[in-house]
Structures are given as structure tokens and as C-alpha cells.
């Protein structure tokens, strides 16, 4: 991968919030290399914009407010009285921070939560609130989040590939069965 993309990605906060309009920080880093503005990351805020401008030799721009505003680090909290266990929050979470099974109450593991709000947006019951984490988002958080995001995406890709292989195998078995039936019919 392009070294510049990796350097930009290392500056981005790795909350994987999609507020910039891209499916994760690495995708935004690639877009920046292709000419996207450097001011579309609310979690990175002004400090992130300054670091990107310094790296790329660009003008420091104000945060693009259409992407959101910079807020202190927050984590998601699920109201157990309202959660119906629909699992939409689990699917939306970019780092597998939400624990639970279908039709049962879910909860957020604050160690894994990046404060991206994607679970809150996906929740049809409006039972997820964002609460102050009462701490700063650290380099360690950033590195863990990148790892969790990549692991989640790899696992989901493998699951999709396995489903595809099973469907193809079923299709092949059905085709063989049809061919055999046609051959048997011809013999009669």
C-alpha cells in the first residue's frame, strides 16, 4: 500500500465513524491522496487537520461542519428497558463493541467502543445514548480500534465467502441432480 496513505491513516483517529463520507479511516486516507479535502474528520478535529496539513504541505482549513462537529470522546450506552434485541446496532458497529444475541438485550463494551455513533443511528428503538467517556481518545485506543476494525472486516469477508461457496455448492449439486434426471428420462 502507498506509504503516504499509511501515513495519513496513522494520523486519522480510527473511530471508523464514516462522518467523512467514507467507510472507515483508511478509505478516507486513500481519498485524501486522491484529492479529498483534509477537513472532513470531526473526531480528529482541528488537531487532526493541522497534522494532515503539516504532513501534506497544505493550508489548514476549518472543520467541514457538514460532516459534524468535534466533540469530546463519548461511548455508547444501551437502555436495557428499551432494547428489543433487533441486532441492528451489532451489525452497524465497526469494532464489535456490542454484545448480545437476537431478541435479547444488548450492551456495549466500553473498551471496544470508539464513540462513532453508528449504533445509535441504526437503532430503531432510540435506546442508545452517547455519554462522555471522561477521558481522552489515545494513541493506544486508535491502534486497537484499527486492529478491531480490520479483524471484524476480515471475519465478515470470510463469512460472506463461506456463504457464497455454500450457495455455489448447492447450485452445483442441483445442476448435477437436474442433469442426472434428464439423462435418466432419456434412457426411458
Q: How confident is the model at residue 184, as a pLDDT?
A: 67
pLDDT the model gives residue 173? 65
**62 DSSP 8-state letter:** -
For the domain spanning 3-67, the CATH number is 1.10.15.40
Report the pLDDT value the prediction gives residue 144, as an integer from 0 to 100.
Answer: 95
CA distance 44 to 32: 14
pTM of the model: 0.84
Distance of CA 45 to the CA centre of its chain: 19
How far apart, in whole angstroms, are the C-alpha atoms of residue 105 and residue 78?
9
Q: In this predicted structure, what is the pLDDT of residue 103? A: 81
What's the distance, Cα to Cα, between the start and end of the chain in Å? 61
pLDDT at 105: 85
**What's the pLDDT score for residue 169?**
76
Burial (CB count <10 Å: 0-12, 13-18, 19+), residue 59: exposed
For the chain, 188 residues long, give each residue's pLDDT as a single digit of tens.
799 999 999 999 999 999 999 999 999 999 999 999 999 999 999 999 999 999 999 999 999 999 999 999 999 999 999 999 999 999 999 999 999 888 888 899 999 999 999 999 999 999 999 999 999 999 999 999 999 999 999 999 999 999 888 877 776 666 666 666 676 676 66
pLDDT at 164: 86
Burial (0-12, 13-18, 19+ Cβ within 10 Å), 105: middle
The candidate with the shortest Cα–Cα distance to 119, out of 135, 104, 130, is 130
Q: What is the pLDDT of residue 163?
A: 86
Q: Are 75 and 108 in contact (CB under 8 A)?
A: yes
Exposure class string for 87-103: b at 16+ Cβ within 10 A, else e: bbbbebbbbebbebeee
Amino acid at each position: 500500500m502507498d506509504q503516504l496513505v499509511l501515513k495519513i491513516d496513522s494520523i486519522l483517529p480510527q473511530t471508523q465513524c464514516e462522518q467523512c463520507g467514507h467507510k472507515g479511516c483508511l478509505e478516507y486516507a486513500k481519498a485524501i491522496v486522491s484529492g479529498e479535502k483534509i477537513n472532513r474528520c470531526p473526531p480528529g478535529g482541528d488537531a487532526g487537520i493541522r497534522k494532515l496539513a503539516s504532513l501534506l504541505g497544505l493550508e489548514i482549513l476549518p472543520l467541514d461542519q457538514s460532516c459534524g462537529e468535534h466533540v469530546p470522546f463519548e461511548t455508547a450506552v444501551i437502555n436495557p428497558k428499551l432494547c428489543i434485541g433487533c441486532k441492528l446496532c451489532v451489525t452497524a458497529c465497526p469494532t464489535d463493541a456490542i454484545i448480545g444475541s437476537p431478541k435479547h438485550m444488548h450492551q456495549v463494551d466500553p473498551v471496544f467502543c470508539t464513540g462513532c455513533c453508528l449504533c445509535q443511528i441504526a437503532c430503531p428503538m432510540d435506546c442508545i445514548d452517547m455519554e462522555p467517556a471522561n477521558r481522552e481518545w489515545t494513541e493506544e485506543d486508535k491502534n486497537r480500534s484499527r486492529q478491531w476494525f480490520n479483524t471484524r472486516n476480515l471475519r465478515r469477508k470470510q463469512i460472506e465467502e463461506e456463504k457464497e461457496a455454500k450457495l455455489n455448492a448447492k447450485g452445483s449439486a442441483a445442476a448435477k441432480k437436474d442433469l442426472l434426471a434428464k439423462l435418466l428420462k432419456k434412457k426411458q
